[in-house]
Structure 1
């Protein structure tokens, strides 16, 4: 019997939220001088499950999370909040989260790098681009990659940049670029995927693309991130894509 659940078995991609929560738990455990061995000896969580969680590879069961939170002197529900990107303290602002990430830059870099490598195998298993499952699956992979990029980028902004972190961030962005360009060739490619490819082929920045389309930078960035856009913005973006192609 284990104390953890595996992560995202459908896509094989690590959940960046789990990486964030695991890194925070590892930092808190070290801050309180609690060893992995002692947690296992006390029946909180076995060493293998704890290591996997702290590296972002597994998600503890609810009962185990409750025990961990008690030992780490966190309010109930803290670990789940951290996974969602919320502060450990419900009354705090999200600005308090990066402190934890900053203390764990090596762990974040390792987690992101591992996840990006996992994506390579997952992407290789994608069906042909004309298969009906291709676009939903590649879109899900890209969503996870963007979250991983965000985790690494935030760590880079708030802490001393390390070569490992830069490599992890670069790998995430390179994989996003490769997969989005591939996704854009599919018959059912999303608006965001087609926009990204058209913009990249034209060597335009997000700001330049927004100006050309007559929409805001946020609408271009949002479309590429698969966020909903207004019908007017979608029409303007479609017109620009047609013009660029």
Structure 2
């Protein structure tokens, strides 16, 4: 219901249709629409049909969204990411992000010792999940009101990213991105300052810390900077 309501709200905004106009045209009253868009109630068949018509959706679309369409969504985090891009339910998103961050706590606690071959792979997988959650919360701040709940969600996920990356950097098998993050944190350098010090683009620093590929030249320059910082 939350997914269907959020999708309908996003489509309504996309078409620049106000809640008031839907009420004035007798499609659905404002209170019922707000309740539906927040996932708190489910409109009757006739009302859903009217909404689909005004939203220019094929008949049955709202039911299909409630049932899980698109079927390609198989990961809870991916579902959060898709919903966050269209929903103004900041509190719902923030609660989901914080819950997911807390759920990853057990995965972090189960990580083996630093000398175990799975230490870095396991932490890297957790960091990938955390970065995805950070993206969810960041996108939510761009499409809706920035609420205290969203700020707390961003703080929670970024704090956990910080903790996990610094832990990973203690391993001799840490990635370049993990070592760079820890080094610039110790030196109190921003991404922009790190990029200028290394002679690379800011995007190179962002990419390597997110475990995305960069050129060999940029990697060499960052490795040289790491040697200087250490």
C-alpha distance in 1, partners of 2:81/2:229?
A: 40
Match of 2:210 in 1: 225
Q: Summarize deviations over 1:209-245 as a string: whole Å, max 9, x none.
A: 0011111000000000000111111111111011101
CA RMSD of aligned residues (A): 3.3
Alignment of 1:207 onto 2:192: yes
Q: Is the 8 Å Cα contact of residues 149 and 172 (structure 1) preserved in structure 2?
A: yes
Match of 2:63 in 1: 71
C-alpha distance in 2, partners of 1:236/1:114?
A: 39
Q: Is the 8 Å Cα contact of residues 6 and 39 (structure 2) preserved in structure 1?
A: no
Bigger radius of gyration among the two: 2
User: Displaced runs of 4+ in structure 1, greater than 2 A?
Assistant: 22-26, 28-39, 76-88
Aligned-pair distance for 1:130? 1.4
Runs of at least 5 residues in structure 1 that lack an aligned partner in the other structure: 1-21, 40-67, 89-96
Alignment of 1:175 onto 2:175: no
Matches within 5 A, 1:83-94: 83=78
Note closer, same or farther for the CA distance 1:224–1:114 as it changes in structure 2 (3 Å cut).
same
Q: Is the 8 Å Cα contact of residues 69 and 79 (structure 1) preserved in structure 2?
A: no
Q: How many residues align?
A: 185
What SS does structure 1 have at the residue aligned with 2:124?
Answer: helix
Aligned-pair distance for 1:158? 2.6
Note closer, same or farther for the CA distance 1:34–1:196 as it changes in structure 2 (3 Å cut).
closer
Note closer, same or farther for the CA distance 1:241–1:25 as it changes in structure 2 (3 Å cut).
farther
Match of 2:128 in 1: 143
Q: Is the 8 Å Cα contact of residues 81 and 87 (structure 1) preserved in structure 2?
A: no
Q: Is the 8 Å Cα contact of residues 106 and 164 (structure 1) preserved in structure 2?
A: yes
Aligned-pair distance for 1:157? 2.5
Match of 1:27 in 2: 6
Match of 2:147 in 1: 162
Q: Summarize deviations over 1:147-206 as a string: whole Å, max 9, x none.
A: 101110111233212121111110000000011001001121001000100110110010
Q: Summarize deviations over 1:16-71 as a string: whole Å, max 9, x none.
A: xxxxxx964342372498946999xxxxxxxxxxxxxxxxxxxxxxxxxxxx9561
Runs of at least 5 residues in structure 2 that lack an aligned partner in the other structure: 9-35, 46-59
